[in-house]
Chain A
């Protein structure tokens, strides 16, 4: 390398050179001065304009050496682990020899001594950590497997022939990891993440290969719902169904079915599965069948009996099921938020799009081509958006835009209102004066209301979408959110209307000595089934038949496009019904499981046959977060509120079910806890805890205050971190300026010395 000229005069010269180059960007193309604010980078000429010696120096900069990156990973991990907190010095800029495939420019500059030192340092660090930690660290280093094996062998001083399982520490660590994995996998619902339970994995791979991650997210959502339902069913089955079934000697007063089996009912029993009446009415399917006594297991002469209090079990089982679902939902939501939360405000998204948008899972040739076309279109759109400013609207067009939006919204709201009226009045229209159609002459009439509701919830969102095509939105994501809001509003209003209708029927039921809980359970059962039937019909008619028409009879032979948002909202709506209905029909999750299975296979077949890969980019992670939040907040919390209200405020029917003698269902739980305090010594603390903590407003107030304090502290910490980030950004900018200055100076020096060498050669000659 050329020697740096010493001397005071040279320093001044360098200063002058440096000053003149300070304002220049890094495209040192023959003295072009660019405006600092314009921020234009020339075509890649900068490398050619640098002299080879400058280039050599640049190539061996630490930030460009792969080795530096590897040790950076190591130092990151070290600062995380509690064992060693040594700050790693900036390593010497040496090319790596760890993987011979790094055909770096500066390969010929490697020095063996440096490599050995680096290796030794790495080994020392790994040996300092416990066995499990070091293996984990090694796994996370971007080295090749062969090199990792060498390091690991050296690190643990094993002979290569020794079986690995003999190492105790490693074995313990692996056992611990396995145990934790199984525990977490079972209870935290990480179905899609853990490798042990993998339902439909091959199918998912096919789907993602053809259609990408966006459409896959719908099927992953479906699988997750399946898991929640299976868990709920297990809990209900173990603690409610089995005890009820296994004690047939408990005399169950018949639920008041006023008329005996009439001949007309016998004729219509083939519909019992669909309407939930007939055989199912007095079965474990519905609330009315459950006994209100304790099933006992008393031996002949034993003084103590093991009692199983079915009403208490009813409350606690449903409560536990809801609690477990809640925990799993919150966990899933927190994981999604963690993934999709952007800490930094993006100044622009082009870099993000270029670096992150290629979906490597897509492997079919046509889909790859389609993806390339998509990305190209999106890049062009983003570039054109950036180049032309946002179009300013004058008064006329603003008014026009507003009026179109208002029109569409008013049509939507009117439709929703009309549907609510329809739902409310269809029953009286069919009953024509009767109070509750439990004993009916026309069981088909029972199916009318669920049919209407399902048709509305399937067809009307499509109508809203067609309407909204005339609207003009600023961005496609706003469009999606608006259609989601409309869809949700529709479904929410219908659900509220149904609840209100059932609420008005309770008094009538009490007068008629009927079991209103079983009635509501049957209605929900019918709703869930009808939803499935209409969904399947919709798939067959609107997707298969219509898709076939489009494919064969249109000029361009295009296929349909999958509307992810609408289908996910359908799933959410169905799940809301199940969560609300589980109080009245403990086996409803079983129906939902069957429905989800069927829906999965129908949708998958339809997708493969009738649909094409999406043309618009779907932000899968962000939308998954939105959907999980929607599943939690309006759907689960809404159903939970309704269940709690029912248990707390509404008097259970006095002729059937486990709570027939009580004023409300929760009283039983309260009574039991208070009794516990009086009688049994081992659970006295529970009663004490309940009376003084849960029932005590002061304690709840203190708890709420504590949570608010913690939230406030976290917010302040976040603010502080933002401040630090701002300062670090400024510091990095300064460092960048320094770097530019130094490289410019280096270039100038090299040019000057090259020139002086030329001059000296000429002088010699």
Chain B
């Protein structure tokens, strides 16, 4: 914020361009928005923005997965979901237009893995369905419906029948949907 916009050094900009799926304009826009969130003008690279501030972004504000997104992309040791500028670029890159299906499905898997154990078990799936259907009472599924739904999901996607959906199985399911790539997008 302020009259003089802080500039990304050119080498850094081109490095980011090569290592992420973002274009130059997108990286510059991300830089601008990140600086606004920080409220500072120069060099946001080193410092982190807390999760609460990130969640004020209009693109994330109403998303039911916003907290999971922050936790997944955050490289902070404390595990508080705060993002540095590079984490923010990571986020935008995974959600960008040209990210590959593998990257998107990998991050989607990690976002849906609420307990971070590397698979989606029934508990994760239950939380996922609750996020999808909304938090209000009238849109929740009944216990019976939830049980039936979880059974069906595991039946359809658990190939090796171990009761959980691991990453390969998840990617296998995702590959059947042509809409996934276009719906797993966030654009600033």
Cβ-defined contact, B159 with A148, below 8 A: no
On whether A360 and B20 interact (CB within 8 A), knowing A373-B139, A387-B148, A735-B160, the answer reads no
Given contacts A104-B117, A348-B156, A350-B149, contact A736 B162 (CB under 8 A): yes
User: Is there a chain B Cβ closer than 8 Å to A393's Cβ?
Assistant: no
| Cβ of B21 under 8 Å from chain A | yes
Tell me if A388 is interfacial: C-beta within 8 Å of chain B.
no
Task: Say if the beta carbon of B4 comes within 8 Å of chain A.
Answer: no
Known: A145-B87, A363-B59. A195 touches B25 (CB 8 A): yes
Complex CA–CA separation, A63 to B89 (angstroms): 28
Specify the chain A residue showing the minimal Cβ separation from B159: A732
A248 to B2 CA separation, bound complex (whole angstroms): 59
* B121 partner, pick from A47, A383, A621, beta carbons under 8 A: A47
* Assembled-state Cα–Cα distance A101/B52 (Å): 18
The A-contacting residues of B in range 138-169, CB under 8 angstroms, are 139-141, 145, 147-157, 159-163, 166-168
Residues B118 and A104 in contact, CB atoms below 8 Å apart = yes
- Give the chain B neighbours of A142 by CB distance below 8 A: 94, 102-103, 106-107
Residues of A within 8 A of B132 (CB): 354, 357-358, 372, 375-376, 379
Known: A360-B95, A732-B159. A44 touches B121 (CB 8 A): yes
Q: What residues on B are CB-neighbors of A144 within 8 Å? A: 73, 75, 86-87, 90
Complex interface: chain B residues within 8 A of A732 (CB): 159-160
For chain A residues 21-79, which have a beta carbon within 8 Å of chain B?
25-27, 39-41, 43-44, 46-47, 59, 63-66, 69, 72-73, 76
Pair A622/B163 contact, Cβ less than 8 Å: no
8 Å CB contact of B170 from A59, A135, A355: A355
Which chain A residues in 386-422 approach chain B with CB under 8 Å? 386-387
Does A557 lie at the interface of the complex (its beta carbon under 8 Å from any beta carbon of B)? no
Given the contacts A41-B150, A372-B133, A620 and B75 also touching, CB distance less than 8 Å: no
Per-position 1/0 for B113-143, Cβ under 8 A of A: 0001111011101101100111000011100
Q: Given known contacts A104-B117, A105-B117, A620-B182, is B160 in contact with A379 (CB within 8 Å)?
A: no
For B116, give its contact among A102, A346, A380 (CB under 8 Å).
A102
Q: Which residue from A47, A59, A346, A376 sits with its C-beta under 8 Å from B118? A: A59
What residue of chain B has the Cβ atom nearest to residue A365's Cβ?
B62
- Chain A residues with Cβ below 8 Å from B93 are 145
Known: A100-B75, A355-B108. A339 touches B178 (CB 8 A): yes
Q: What 1/0 flags go to B82-98 for Cβ under 8 Å of A?
A: 00101101100111011
Partner of B177, one of A139, A356, A383: A356
Interface residues of A in 82-140 (CB under 8 A from B): 99-105, 135, 138-140
Chain A interface residue number, banded: 35 or more
Chain A residue with Cβ nearest B93: A145
Q: Tell me whether A354 and B139 are in contact (CB under 8 A).
A: no
Q: Which of A26, A39, A355, A359 has a CB less than 8 Å from the CB of B174? A: A355
> Within 8 Å of chain A (Cβ to Cβ): is B79?
yes
A4 within 8 A of B: no
Q: Are B75 and A101 in contact (CB under 8 A)?
A: yes
Known: A164-B15, A620-B182. A25 touches B156 (CB 8 A): no
- Tell which of B87, B94, B139, B150 touches A372, judged by Cβ atoms closer than 8 Å: B139
The winner among B14, B74, B94, B134 for most chain A CB atoms within 10 A is B134
Indicate with 1 or 0, residue by residue over A328-363, a CB within 8 angstroms of chain B CB atoms. Answer: 000000000001111110111011101111111101
A27 to B164 CA separation, bound complex (whole angstroms): 11
Per-position binary interface string of chain A over residues 155-167, scored 1 when its CB falls under 8 Å from any chain B CB and 0 otherwise: 0000000011100
Given contacts A145-B20, A621-B182, contact A348 B152 (CB under 8 A): yes
> Shortest beta-carbon distance, B12 to chain A, in Å?
9
A410 CB to closest chain B CB (Å) equals 37
Residues of B within 8 A of A737 (CB): 161
Residue in A66, A139, A348 whose beta carbon sits within 8 Å of that of B18 in the complex: A139
Give the top 8 A-B pairs by smallest Cβ distance, nearest first: A64-B118, A372-B134, A736-B160, A26-B163, A621-B178, A376-B133, A356-B177, A145-B86
B residues contacting A by CB (< 8 A) are 10-11, 14-16, 18-21, 23, 25-26, 58-65, 71-77, 79, 84, 86-87, 89-90, 93-95, 97-98, 100, 102-103, 106-108, 110, 112, 116-119, 121-123, 125-126, 128-129, 132-134, 139-141, 145, 147-157, 159-163, 166-168, 170, 173-187
Which residues does A use to contact B, with CB under 8 Å?
Answer: 25-27, 39-41, 43-44, 46-47, 59, 63-66, 69, 72-73, 76, 99-105, 135, 138-140, 142, 144-146, 148-149, 152, 163-165, 170, 174, 193, 195, 205, 213, 339-344, 346-348, 350-352, 354-361, 363-365, 368-369, 372-373, 375-376, 379-380, 383, 386-387, 619-622, 729, 732-733, 735-737, 739-740, 743
Known contacts A44-B123, A347-B156; 10 further A-B pairs (Cβ under 8 A)? A46-B163, A73-B106, A213-B179, A343-B175, A346-B176, A357-B132, A372-B139, A376-B132, A386-B148, A743-B162
